[in-house]
Amino acid sequence: MTQSAKAHPTLIPMGTTVLSLRIDGELLDRLRNHAAKRGMSVQDYVIQTLMRDDFDQRFQTAVEETEKFYGVT
């Protein structure tokens, strides 16, 4: 394999990465309660929330760009 064909050593293709967060106990309790209401683990609840927020931001940006394109204010 040539040097240019090698993958970047810090990238993990099609895998997952660990993200560690330090949060206070009160916030963790709230996350546990929200997750439990949905029958989810805290990890799954946080991931779903982040993905939804990311989608919401991208959708809002798309709406704003469309409005600019059509001259809607």
User: pLDDT (tens digit, 9 = 90+) per residue, 24-72?
Assistant: 999 999 999 999 999 999 999 998 998 888 888 888 888 889 888 888 7
Q: For residue 40, count other CB atoms closer than 10 A to its CB.
A: 14
User: Which pTM was predicted?
Assistant: 0.60
Give, in degrees to the nearest 5, the angle at Cα 52 between 46 and 58: 135
pLDDT category, 1, cuts 50, 70, 90?
Answer: very low
User: pLDDT (tens digit, 9 = 90+) per residue, 40-49?
Assistant: 999 999 989 9
User: Which has the closest alpha carbon to 46: 34, 62, 64, 58?
Assistant: 34
**The dihedral formed by the CA atoms of 13, 16, 17 and 22, expressed in degrees to the nearest 10:** 160
- Chain centroid to CA 36: 20
